[in-house]
Amino acid sequence: SREQAQLKASVVEEDTEEWQKDSSFAGLQRVGGVDLSYIKGDETSACASLVVLSYPALEVLYEDCQMVAVSTPYVAGFLAFREVPFLVEAVQRLQREQPKLEPQVLLVDGNGLLHPRGFGVACHLGVLTDLPCIGVAKNLLQVDGLVRNELHREQIRSLQREGDMFPLTGTSGRVLGMVSCGDSNNSSKPLYISVGHRVCLETAVCLVKSCCRYRIPEPIRQVQKQGSCGRGR
């Protein structure tokens, strides 16, 4: 808890990059995606994956997939301590071997500020790599009074068009993230977007939307595809 609190103090919830100041993200050339996916039925063997796509074309420039042995036990609220070290290693490997392909922002399959202590996987990875990070989750993490009740489901049903969204405001009054409809054909399964590090929520949402060809933004879709290939080796 102490280490998590210390790391949380370094989170920057604002835009810090020049490309973030332009609504078209001029200057953004590389977007990364990271994920740790487990072998079915085995919670200790996983594939740590990193992909880098060109932007705005979203073509794969770099792929890295490594099978890893996960030894840290799962503790609710501290998942990052179990998974992030392997993702940091993947980023560092890229920085050593292909530094010109380092992503300017990472999309993380998980939460950022939308977390019981406001420090999810996307925040943790962002602070340790010092890269802008965005949390993109498929399910609602119930924190600060947020629950997947009938009101929440009704709000989701109101997402009719691709790009429709509504804020996730906790009982504290703080906006912890945004619910976005990434695919007009599947609005019942929205995305939960939250700030990770060195990006504001508005920029995070706009970037995620611009990376969506389907429901899941392309950097995460490609990294999960890569992870599936790795698990099958």
Domain count, the chain: 1
Sheet holding 175-180, edge to edge: 60-69, 42-54, 30-39, 105-108, 133-137, 191-197, 175-180, 165-169
Using DSSP bridges, classify how beta strands 30-39 and 105-108 pair: parallel, antiparallel or unpaired.
Answer: parallel
CATH of residue 218's domain is 3.30.2170.10
Q: What is the pTM of this model?
A: 0.92
Contact between 105 and 28 under an 8 Å Cβ cutoff? The reply is yes
The helix/strand/coil state of 55 is: coil
Domain span at residue 171 reads: 2-230
Question: Strands, DSSP E only, in the chain?
Answer: 30-39, 42-54, 60-69, 105-108, 133-137, 165-169, 175-180, 191-197
Give the integer Cα–Cα distance in Å for 53 and 31: 5
Using DSSP's 3-state secondary structure scheme, residue 113 falls into coil
Q: How far apart are CA 52 and CA 41, in angstroms?
A: 29
pLDDT tens for the chain, 233 residues: list them.
889 999 999 999 999 999 999 989 999 999 999 999 988 878 889 999 999 999 999 999 999 999 999 988 888 778 889 999 999 999 999 999 999 999 999 999 999 999 988 899 999 999 999 999 999 999 888 899 898 888 888 888 777 676 788 899 999 999 999 998 765 455 568 899 999 999 999 999 999 999 998 889 999 999 998 767 555 43
d(CA 181, CA 217): 11
Amino acid identity, residue 67?
M
